[in-house]
Structures are given as structure tokens and as C-alpha cells.
Amino acid sequence: MIRRPFSLRRRLLGWLLMGTLALGAAALADTWREAVRMANALADRVLAGSALVIAERASLDEDGRIAIEIPYGALEMLSSAAQDRVFYRVDGPPGHIVTGYGDLPMAPARPGGGPAYADDLFRGEAVRVASLARAASTGIDEVPFVVTVAETTNARRELTRAILMRSALRLALMIAGAALIVWIAVTLSLRPLYRLGDEIAARSPGDLSPIRTPVPSEVRGLVGTVNGFMRRLETALDGMRNFTGNAGHQLRTPLAVVRTQLALAARAATLPQAQAAAAKGDAAVAHAERILAQLLLLAQVDAAEGGAGAGPLDLAAWARDLTAEHIPAAAEAGIDLGFEGKGPLLVRAEPLLLGEALSNLISNALLHAGRAAVVTVRVLPQGRDAVLEVEDNGPGIPAPARAGAVRRFRRGEAAAPGMGLGLPVAQEIAGLFGGTLTLAEGGGGRGLRARISLPVISKAATAQENDAIDMKPLQS
């Protein structure tokens, strides 16, 4: 299933709107509660003032009963809106209503205290009730009474609704303004990415140089990853180009020899002549096979990065075993192949690749040293390095030609055929593991000494590396 691409701008706006709406809903709820509280506080103050004005007009008649004259001006100040209605009642001693609506609900007022408030229903309408308890004095006795004033809540609801609507309008304008700001800010912030895309699109297919376009810090990691990928891609393409170029250059001659020998075999007048041509063609095919194997090895070295797969290796024990594998070929060539060295001597290398380097050095020595020669593989410490060298007492390589001998596709002056790849392969493999290849004169001023120097690693570093490898499954 193909996922549709998303818009960063729309996603940011969506998150902004969802977050703002959630916060706005909470803010509106709080605004509603605050509006109700403020409207009640204002109206309650007016209710309490009206009740207090009425209570101050209370007196006792000749029979000692509560007499009160309602100041209607006190009730008129409650009419805050035309749709609201005002109710009142005055209660004397328990069970006696002095005046007003006898069925009007009362709030639980305490004698001598402040006004008490309550929300209730009166004749099907919601009302806010304020009750104030006072006492009229005869000079000897006091007669308690309670003044209750109530008002419908239409004006309060209208006030709270107006406050809420204004708050909602301001919030909506704020959300719209924030969305516009985000839209503009995202558009401006994405311009470096547009420039980055334009620069990449304008490049030629073969341009894999690092991207230098200034980008925001949040995108630098991505650009660095792309640059690293392009470096690896360029390395792989260089390796492929080298392989194809090298293959075309090196395989052209043996293939031409094969075609020539096949043509000679076809025109041969006798069987021995045809067999001789076939033998030469077979030798050319074997030569092409060796060239192809070396080219594939060079491609593998070109593709390797940073000594991938390298680990601790006991150079002495490993080189001794690999030398033993070449003894039969040396005996067949009439060459005395030996080994000198003792270990352990630890280096960090990949055994197969380093084995190809040593095999190339041994094969070159067996190929060029000549019969009855002596070839010695030697491992020894030298300062902070471990030295792996192959020495022979053959004709060697003249000093002026040694620098060119480690370059690809250069052959020495010896009569035996070479492929021009053995020493370059060894040099590149040595460099892959932080080492170097040097060529020098052999002992006694004869032959050639090919020496690979590799950094030695300590046993403590090896133990730490092994511990880290052992801990990986536990950490995962």
C-alpha cells in the first residue's frame, strides 16, 4: 500500500488548531465560570443592598408587632433588565408573614449575620434569593424578622452569555491570526529546503560532491546523511568504473590470444600443431581467469570501507598456517618456502582480505624468484607495528622501478608473465587496515623484500572489544 505524501504545512496547522481548540475550550469553560461568578457577585451586592434598605425601614407598632413600609425605590434599583422580575417578603416571628409573597423561597439567614444567598425556583422561573435577618427593638425586647428579596436571572444569563461570546470571538480571531502566522512562517522556513531541492535537481547525474547549501540546523543532520550517502555512492561508482576499465584493459590481450590460437588450431595441418595451439589458448584462458580473480578482489577492496569486518588477529599463527598452504606449489616450482616468527602478535584485520595480500606476495615471489630460490615468510615486531614480510633471493626489482611496481597494471622486467595486480592489491589491502607496503632489497643485496607493517593492538584493548561484543545481546 502506497502512503500518500503529507504536507508539513497542513500538519503543523492541524496540530496548532487542535491544541488551540483544546486550550480554547478549557479557557472558555473557565471564562463561563468566572462570568457567572462575577454576574452573581454584582447582582448579589444589589440584592443585599435592597434587603438592607428594607430592613432599615422596619419598626414596631403599638401592639409590638413588626411594621414595615416597603421603599419601592429599593426594588426599582433591582430591575437591571426589562425582562427581570423582582419579589420580596418580610417574615416576623416564626409563622408570621408581615408582607410580600408568602410562597417565595428563603435563604437560610442567621440573626445578626450578613445576607445569605440561594438559587431556587419561584413560579416556574429561576430566581436568585437574598435573605437578611435583623431584629426590631422596643427598648426592652427585640423582635426578630427576616427580609427576603429575589430576582429572576435573565439579566445575569444575558451578561454571562455576552462575556462568553466576546471571549469566544477573541479566541477565534487569535486562532485565525496564529494560523496565518504559522502558514507564513512555515512557508518562509521551508524556503531553504526549496533551494536545497532546486540545487540537487540542477546537478548533473555524475555530480556527487557534498551539498553546501545553507540549511536550518534541524535539517543539517539530513543533509549530512545525504552527503555521506553520496560519498559512499561515489566510492561504489568509482569502484565499478575501475573494475570495468581494468577488466576491459586487462582481459583484452588474453582474449585476443585465445581467438588467435583458436584460429591457428582451425588452420593447423597436423594434430600436434592443433594441440599446441589449443594448449596456448588454454594457458591464455587460465591467465584471464587469474586476471578476473584479481580484478574481483580489487573491486572488493575498493568497496570495503574503514576495514569492515576487521577484528583481532594473531598475525604469527595465521601467517604460519597460510604459508603452509603454499608449500606444495613452491615444491612443484623447485623453491624452498619457509616461515620465521613466533607470536602472539595481535593486529586488527580481516583474515580473508589480508590472506589475499599475503598470497599475492608469496605467489609473486614463487613466480619471479626462479628455481632453487629461497623464499621466506617472516613475522616480527618492530616498535608499535607488526611486520609481515616475504623475502626471496631471486632477481628482485631495481630500485628505480619499485615505486611503479605497486601501481596497478605495471609488470616487472622478469621474463615470467605477471598480471600487474599482485603488489597493488597487497598495498591497498594493507592500507585498508591502517598499514603500509614497502619494497626493499633482500638480504645479501639480492632479491626482493616485500614488507607489510600493521599497527599492533594490545591485549587489554582486545579484551575490552570482546567484552563489548559479548554484552551486545544483553543490551538489546
Report how far residue 458's alpha carbon sits from residue 133's, in angstroms, rounded to the nearest whole number.
97
Give 264's DSSP letter.
H
CATH architecture of the domain covering 306-463? 2-Layer Sandwich (3.30)
Q: What is the DSSP letter of 444?
A: G
Q: Domain map of the chain by residue range? A: 8-162, 217-301, 306-463
Q: What is the pLDDT of residue 250?
A: 61
pLDDT at 338: 93
User: Which residue type is seen at 129?
Assistant: V
pLDDT at 411: 45
Angle between helix 191-202 and 154-189 (nearest 10): 30
Please, are residues 400 and 418 in contact by the beta-carbon 8 Å criterion? no
CA-closest candidate to residue 366, choices 343, 328, 335, 344: 335
pLDDT at 471: 43
Which pLDDT value is given to residue 473? 44
Confidence (pLDDT) at 416: 38
Residues of the chain predicted below pLDDT 50:
1, 410-419, 468-476
395's grid cell: 632477481
Residues written for the chain: 476
Give the residue from 107, 136, 93, 105 showing the smallest Cα distance to 48. Answer: 107
Which architecture, in CATH terms, is 8-162?
2-Layer Sandwich (3.30)
177 burial (CB, 10 Å; 0-12 / 13-18 / 19+) is exposed
What local confidence, expressed as pLDDT, does residue 340 receive?
92
217-301 shares its CATH topology with 306-463: no
In what helix (H) or strand (E) does residue 229 lie, and over which residues does it extend?
A: helix 217-267
From residue 188, alpha-carbon distances to 7, 192, 278, 409 in Å are 15, 8, 74, 55
What is the distance in angstroms between the CA of the first residue and the CA of the last residue of the chain? 31
Q: Is 144 helix (H, G, I), strand (E, B) or coil?
A: strand
* Interaxial angle between packed helices 154-189 and 8-56, expressed in degrees from 0 to 180 and rounded to the nearest 10: 160
- At the topology level, CATH places domain 217-301 in Helix Hairpins (1.10.287)
CA 107: distance to chain centroid?
A: 66
Residues with Cβ within 8 Å of 315's Cβ and at least 6 positions away in sequence, in order, are 343, 345, 346, 347, 349, 379, 386, 388, 454
How far is residue 246's CA from residue 238's CA, in Å, rounded to a whole number? 12
| Half-sphere exposure for 288 (CA within 13 Å, toward CB) | 18
- What's the confidence (pLDDT) of residue 343? 74
Strand 125-137 to strand 142-152: parallel, antiparallel, or no bridges (unpaired)? antiparallel
The CB density around residue 439, as the number of other CB atoms within 10 Å, is 18
Query: Looking at residue 243, what is its pLDDT?
Result: 64
Cell readout for 284 is 591464455
Supply φ then ψ for residue 421, to 5 degrees.
-125, -20
296 in Cβ contact with 333 (< 8 Å): no
Is-cis flag, bond preceding 344, omega within 30?
yes
Side chain identity at residue 449, one-letter code: R
* Residue 220 to residue 216: CA distance in whole angstroms: 7
Phi then psi for 4, rounded to 5 degrees?
-70, 140
pLDDT tens for 327-352 read 999 999 899 999 998 778 899 888 88
What is the pLDDT at residue 224?
86
The answer to whether 315 touches 385, Cβ cutoff 8 Å, is no
pLDDT of residue 409: 53
Can you give the pLDDT at residue 391? 93
Whole-model pTM: value is 0.47
